[in-house]
């Protein structure tokens, strides 16, 4: 109630129009990208408070008067804009936010991430950076699911980010470029000859700019010789393609175990709260294997139960967090004494040798 009274004070003297203010930009407000909490107030109107996720309190505050047009545009009324800016600051600083719904897990820092299921078990990721309005897609397997989601959200496509050359990660590259001629294809420099339509080649240590965000690149060969991983630190988002999975890692089609362990080791220093947006829904099968390698890990057993429950309901298990993977993914834990014992290897074995044994066991599982 304190918050609602504050919002009414902000709007005092301003005509009650459907408005939205976001930083210095004005944009359509979509119920699909915001989370709404309705509150009935003494003034016989109902106002909806919209907050676009944790980072959005830094960016935006908005109000929607029910019964107006669904797609609302920024108001030219200075009083309304001032009210929005004031409320946005309040949303960011006030502790009285119990009445505000937070955005779903698709909100990732200052970037929105949308899961697009493709084929039988692929996840394609749409990334939307709101301050610039730019949208990218990671590893588009199919055209129609991606275009359908873009149209549903009113987004265009500015970039394609490929992690490697396999057909289920680049299958829609050329069709999307034809549909969105201005679209730039970004992919691994080490594998540029196998990335359809590649425009920008990146590799270890490079940074590609996505609106106001830095997309940092790691060379992570092993699954393929030219595989790369994208990390967006401001949004705590990691896109490892088929290098790292929830409770697993990719098969070694073109690399060695030593090479793959070196690639995975590059990701271990990243913050535990980093979200891991891998490219496949393999988690349940990976969990069944993981407990054979690490049978006494309580956190792993608990996670396996959660994964199985989610899959029974048809729910996705991706993204996970890097902290979860460090604690429960055996492919990231070859130094653990219990895993070494389970694999018949002692303290003298190199980590990559233990990793190789785990990978070989999974290949036969």
Helix (H, G, I), strand (E, B) or coil at 256: coil
Out of 158, 165, 191, 223, the active site residue is 223
Catalytic-labelled residue, pool 168, 191, 219, 294? 168
Best CA proximity match to 245, nearest among 186, 318, 323: 318
Annotated catalytic residue, options 128, 165, 227, 280:
280
Which two tokens mark 226? 């030219």
Residue 112: closest CA among 53, 164, 44: 53
Length of the chain: 365
Count of other CB atoms within 10 angstroms of residue 264: 25
Q: Which of 128, 158, 164, 294 does the annotation list as catalytic?
A: 164
Strand 200-202 relative to strand 213-219: parallel, antiparallel, unpaired?
unpaired
Alpha helices in 63-142 (DSSP H): 78-93
Q: Where are the beta strands (DSSP E) in 158-198?
A: 159-161, 184-188
**Is 17 one of the annotated active-site residues of the chain?**
no
Question: Among this protein's residues, is 223 annotated catalytic?
Answer: yes
Return the structure tokens found at 365: 């599982």
C-alpha atoms less than 13 angstroms from C-alpha of 96 in its C-beta half-sphere: 9
Q: What are residue 107's DSSP bridge partners?
A: 112
Task: Say if residues 281 and 316 touch (Cβ distance below 8 Å).
Answer: yes
**Contacts of 293 by beta carbon, 8 Å cutoff, 6+ apart:** 330, 339, 342, 343, 358, 361
- Of 166, 191, 219, 227, which is the active-site residue? 166
SS3 label, residue 127: strand
Active-site residue among 139, 191, 219, 242? Answer: 242
Give the whole-angstrom CA distance, residue 170 versus residue 159: 13
Told to judge if 168 belongs to the known catalytic residues of this protein, a careful annotator would answer yes
Give me the active site residues, please: 164, 166, 168-169, 223, 242, 280
């Amino acid at each position: 109630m304190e918050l609602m009274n504050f919002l009414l004070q902000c709007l005092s003297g301003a005509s009650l129009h459907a408005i939205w203010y976001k930083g210095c930009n004005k944009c359509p407000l979509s119920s699909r990208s915001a989370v709404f909490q309705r509150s009935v107030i003494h003034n016989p109107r109902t106002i909806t408070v919209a907050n676009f996720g944790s980072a959005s309190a830094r960016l935006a505050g908005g109000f929607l008067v029910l019964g107006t047009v669904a797609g609302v545009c920024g108001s030219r009324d200075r009083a309304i804009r001032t009210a929005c800016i004031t409320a946005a600051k309040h949303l960011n600083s006030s502790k009285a936010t119990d009445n505000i719904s937070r955005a779903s897990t698709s909100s990732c820092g200052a970037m929105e991430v949308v899961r697009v299921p493709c084929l039988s078990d692929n996840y394609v990721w749409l990334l939307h950076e709101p301050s610039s309005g730019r949208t990218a897609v990671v590893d588009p397997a199919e055209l129609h699911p991606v275009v359908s989601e873009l149209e549903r959200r009113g987004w265009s496509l500015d970039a394609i980010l490929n992690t490697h050359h396999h057909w289920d990660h680049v299958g829609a590259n050329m069709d999307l470029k034809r549909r969105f001629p201005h679209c730039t294809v970004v992919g691994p420099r080490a594998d540029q000859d196998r990335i359809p339509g590649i425009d920008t080649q990146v590799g270890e240590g490079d940074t590609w700019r996505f609106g106001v965000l830095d997309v940092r690149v790691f060379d992570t060969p092993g699954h393929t010789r030219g595989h790369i991983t994208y990390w967006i630190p401001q949004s705590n988002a990691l896109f490892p393609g088929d290098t790292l999975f929830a409770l697993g890692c990719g098969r070694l089609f073109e690399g060695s175990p030593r090479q793959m362990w070196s690639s995975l080791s590059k990701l271990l220093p990243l913050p535990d709260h980093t979200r891991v947006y891998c490219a496949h829904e393999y988690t349940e099968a990976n969990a069944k294997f993981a407990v054979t390698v690490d049978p006494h890990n309580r956190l792993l057993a608990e996670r396996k139960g959660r994964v199985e429950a989610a899959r029974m309901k048809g729910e996705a298990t991706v993204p996970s967090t890097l902290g979860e993977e460090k604690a429960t993914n055996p492919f990231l834990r070859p130094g653990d004494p219990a895993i070494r014992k389970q694999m018949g290897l002692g303290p003298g074995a190199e980590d990559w040798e233990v990793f190789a044994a785990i990978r070989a066991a999974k290949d036969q599982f």
